Structure 1
């Protein structure tokens, strides 16, 4: 490891598992000081053992009060964050969009879209105070194209893509870059849940794998490596990008 993020403070939502956990471990290995946020207290505790000097805060990302509390705790502990990764997300209903229940739809957008917006709202002022930095949001390849099996999820992630581009335009003059990573099918608990929700999990798995020209599912570390590139100096002239990490699915 190069220590390329030594001394930097990074805030990560959805840090307890999946892509958020992979990003947290990669940033910790590169010397970052971490504010780790998730609703899963046990998962955060396990992650903190692998991330020296991390601060964990249990939150619901859709709660403005929770997000503000976490941001204040991080500021008190480390000073202002200069990096933000919004990895918190959920699948939501798998029914056709017109058959989704209103409560399920609302909860999905509360977590995926409102949660991303609240994180930006609470942490971009810190990044500004730190003299600039970078934000990476996590959307999905399904946010760049329609989805027959996950229409509500696709809609929510499309909203994250557009929010990210708008934030990039708004904050570029302040030296704050905002980019969005759009993973394909990545081996995470969320992907496992996608298969488990299908009437025929094996058939759904084969269908999803066939969508990727590289012939396999991605690994969480491959997404984390992309996130770290976008956070780092090597991407210093990159902002407003929605980058697929999808094994060629959208090629």
Structure 2
């Protein structure tokens, strides 16, 4: 599906980003640039990409730094003599940065940090990657990681929800501005089983009860898997999605499709 393409994936040191980078390699890509703030985890993902059959380069990048973002794109494009696919996957959430994440108590510096990584960085990465993508003859496209949090409100996430909603709009306007040469789509994950989500659950006063509360809205009856999100991202990046651009694709086990209140009969909704 991705035969011969060269890709850059941000936030690829673990979780969904790692799964996407490895799946891109499995689906026939020639090369994958793996970018993450943590150089060690980026290098580990790069080894997995190599094992999956693609060439790799690991790039350490702080996405809050404009110059590092530009250097990241240049490094990837230079290493592969071009760029065909950009996956803007990296993201952070305020609950990992502060104990007061509500809209009225969120520290301004935490808002700024979430904005810089979640929205400013995808825009800058797209800006710097666009010239390389326009030159590609191998179905160039961009895949952005938004979130169901960008579609509806969630408690304790004013910066995360706002920036992920912004990613959805960035996706649409990018599809318009770069058409017809470059496609752009985004996926909106719900609660996905990753190291970060497990750490978030484990910090709860009653982790198991909190985990069950996270599972409860899922019509599928479980949390999502990083590999499931990766397969969607790879489809959007592939030539099979050649007539799809400006799209927003939800992968959340059905959680946002209903009110989340079941009847007394557990087999009915």
TM-score of the superposition, structure 2-length normalised?
0.88
Q: Does 1:232 align with 2:238?
A: yes
Match of 2:165 in 1: 158
Residue 14 of structure 1 is matched in structure 2 by 11
Residue range with higher mean Cα deviation, 145-154 or 193-202: 193-202
Cα distance between partner residues in 2 of 1:100 and 1:200: 24
| 1:130 matched to 2:136 | yes
Separation in 2 of the partners of 1:200 and 1:158? Answer: 30
After superposition, what is the alpha-carbon deviation per residue over 1:153-178, rounded to whole angstroms, capped at 9, x for unaligned?
Answer: 111111111111111111123x2110
Question: 2:2, 2:237 within 8 Å by CA — same for their partners in 1?
Answer: no
Q: Is the 8 A contact 1:136 1:230 kept in 2?
A: yes
Gapped regions of structure 2 (runs ≥ 5):
258-269
Find 1:58's aligned residue among 52, 60, 73.
Answer: 60
TM-superposed deviation, 1:75: 2.1
Of 136, 141, 153, the match for 1:146 = 153
Q: Contact between 1:91 and 1:190, CA under 8 Å: does it hold in 2?
A: no
Alignment partner for residue 27 of structure 2, among 21, 25, 30? 30
Deviations 1:2-21 (A, max 9, x none): xx323211011001111110
Q: CA deviation at 1:197?
A: 4.3
The TM-score, its normalising length taken from structure 1, stands at: 0.94
Structure 1 unaligned regions, length at least 5 = none
CA 158–11 in structure 1, closer or farther in 2 if over 3 Å, else same:
same
Look up the SS of the partner of 2:74 in the other structure. Answer: helix
> Which structure has the larger Rg over C-alpha atoms?
2
State the match for 1:106 in structure 2. 112
Tell me the secondary structure at the aligned position of residue 205 of structure 1.
helix
Q: Which residues in structure 2 correspond to 1:81-120 (within 5 Å)?
A: 81-93=83-95, 95-120=101-126
1:193 to 1:90, Cα distance in 2 relative to 1, 3 A: farther
Q: Choose from 171, 183, 186 the match for 1:177.
A: 183
* Backbone CA RMSD of aligned residues: 1.4
Moved over 6 A (4+): none
